[in-house]
Amino acid sequence: MKAFRHLDGLVAPLDRPNVDTDAIIPKQFLKSIRRSGFGPNLFDEWRYLDRGEPGMDNGSRPLNPDFVLNAPRYRGAQILLARENFGCGSSREHAPWALEDYGFRAIIAPSYADIFYNNCFKNGLLPIVLDAQIVDRLFRETFGSVGYRLSVDLEKQHVETPSGERFGFGVDAFRKHCLIEGLDDIGLTLLHAEAIRAFEARREAEQPWLFIGNEK
């Protein structure tokens, strides 16, 4: 998992409340359990004018000119500005996979669905909660200024605007540590690899009958 400490990124505004995970990555793309390759189908039903299916050449599909991510001014955005209850619906982990694969590293919204919020941290995305009035203001500034960027400092836990104004945000200390160090659940487990190997060796010596048929 990519470490996250500080980000200065272009902002893309998704001005819709209650964006569910089926909108983030439609169900037909859930056949793969690989974490990569979902970016081209992020917001597929809004982003394209035809119906997407796995294996399609997305480069030849007709784009929806009215969808925000298709506007040239938001190309390369790393921060998604969203409305309340972002990531509601089913618990699919493919949703943060698709957002991260597209290039987003942080999301700013007034609120999130709980499971989606938790899944973001496990996949290198920082979901920031800011007051709805602050989010309203950031939407206005993003729409009003081409190339609008925000600076996100996870270590100091604040978002900074181009004018230098800062908005603090809360984050669980353990989740913050994992993001800063780039540790997902597998990475956390591997930190204890020596202890795990020692336990397995001791267990095999004490209970060898459990390992019959599983010889190395």
Indicate the SS3 state at residue 152.
Answer: strand
The rounded Cα 109 to chain-centroid distance in angstroms is 13
Given a cut of 80, whether residue 87 has pLDDT beyond it is: yes
129, 164: one domain:
yes
Residues in a beta bridge with 48: 63
How much is the pTM? 0.87
Number of domains in the chain: 2
**Do 195 and 175 share a structural domain?**
no
- 13 and 49 share a domain? yes
Q: Please indicate, yes or no, whether residues 189 and 95 belong to a single structural domain of this protein.
A: no
Q: Which residues contact 121 (CB under 8 A, 6 or more apart)?
A: 127, 175, 178, 179
Mean pLDDT computed over 132-148: 98
Q: Are residues 73 and 156 in the same domain?
A: yes
164 alpha-carbon distance from chain centroid: 26
193 shares its domain with 112: no
Residue 45: inside a domain, yes or no? yes
Q: What is the mean pLDDT of residues 131-155?
A: 98
Same domain (yes/no): 85, 191? no
In a domain, 1, yes or no: no
Count Cβ atoms within 10 A of the Cβ of residue 101 and give its class: 0-12 exposed, 13-18 middle, 19 or more buried: buried
Residues 159 and 122 in one domain: yes
The answer to whether residues 92 and 175 belong to one domain is: yes
Indicate if the pLDDT at residue 160 is higher than 90.
yes
Question: 60 in a domain, yes or no?
Answer: yes
Report yes or no on 63 lying in a domain. yes
Q: What is the mean pLDDT of the chain?
A: 92
Which of the pair, 189 or 82, is modelled with greater confidence? 82
Residues 29-71 have pLDDT tens digits of: 998 777 789 999 999 999 999 999 998 999 999 999 999 999 9
Instruction: Tell me the mean pLDDT in the region 115-143.
Output: 97
Report whether pLDDT(188) > 70. Answer: no
Give yes or no: residues 195 and 151 share one domain: no
pLDDT score recorded for residue 92: 87
CB-CB contact of 93 with 25 (8 Å): no
* Same domain, residue pair 96 and 137: yes
81 in the same domain as 15: yes
In a domain, 101, yes or no: yes
What is the residue range of 194's domain?
184-216
Question: In the 3-class helix/strand/coil scheme, how is 73-138 assigned residue by residue?
Answer: HHCCCCEEECCCCECECCCCCHHHHHHHHHCCCEEEECCECHHHHHHHHHCCCEEEECCHHHHHHH
- For the cut 90, the answer to whether the pLDDT of residue 17 exceeds it is yes
Give CA–CA dist 21/28, Å, rounded: 12
- Residue position matching structure tokens 């989606």: 116
**pLDDT confidence bin for 186, thresholds 50/70/90:** low
Q: Residue 91's domain is classified under what CATH number?
A: 3.20.19.10
Is 164 a residue whose pLDDT tops 90?
Answer: yes
